[in-house]
Chain A
Amino acid sequence: MTTLYITVGDREQLREDTLQFVQAAESDVPDEDGKVTLQFGSYDDLVDSLTPLRLELIQAIAKHAPESMREAARLVDRDVSDVHSDLKQLEVLGILELEEGGPGGAMQPIVPFDRIEMHIDYPLVEGVDDNGTPASV
């Protein structure tokens, strides 16, 4: 199963994850099959990019595998140009791919993931870690 992990956080964590992956792979005991992560720098970045309409579009494509952008627009009952714009944006984010090969040379949207896992840490009080412990303790 291919999972896309979506998080909100600092880029430093991604760097750490990357280095851990490299170290694990070089130690000949890779502890995972690889990982694909989409991280937003802030919660605002996330909600700007992943609107409910776009999430619905992603789900419809994964479920019905449309052969063209126009067919994808029909699936979600939206305007083709709006869906086209959303698909291009989702491609930039790496959530889906637009591949040639649809009918009449149409671009076919493909979601290369089976599921999406979101982990959003939204601390209500600054300086408290995810165990509820003040950072200074």
Chain B
Amino acid sequence: MAQGPHFQYTHVEASLVENVVLRPTEDTETYPSGWKYTLHLGTLTDLTLVRYDNAHEGDEGARTPHCWKRYRRHRIPRNGGVARGVLGERGRVLGRCRWRSATALLTAHRSSLRLQPPPQRKYDHALHHRR
């Protein structure tokens, strides 16, 4: 299948590495938006903090932007903002989110990532699932 040119950037700052890959695709069955994209946010030591793609963009139920809620919960305004900016402005941010023990990672690496402490209130998982 013919694929168009791809755009890729990696931004390195304060020991964080953000990688974004965008590629137009003709496979609109898998990618209704016509775009295939991935975003990876990690550390220079190759620790993955956030990684998602839109490989399941067309699936029902894959359109809940859990990652943004968790971004805000842990207050990573700069990187969350970037991802929203790059992908969200196109209205195609609702891809698949995959987390690798995100809460534990973010808490453990809070100081090195210059994150603010997570909020004290307990997260209501039941409410989350009801949504």
Residues of A within 8 A of B (CB): 11, 14-15, 17-19, 21-22, 25-26, 30, 32-42, 45, 49, 88-89, 91-94
Contacts and interface: CB of A to CB of B under 8 A. Distances in A.
A1 to B, nearest CB: 14
A34 B7 contact: yes
Given A11-B82, A15-B86, A89-B44, A21 B12 contact: no
Given A21-B22, A22-B22, A88-B46, A11 B5 contact: no
A37 B10 contact: yes
B11 A14 contact: yes
A25 B35 CA distance: 10
A37 B24 contact: no
Interface residues of B, number: 28
A111 B18 CA distance: 20
A9 B69 CA distance: 29
A30 B12 contact: no
A102 to B, nearest CB: 20
Contacts of B35: 22
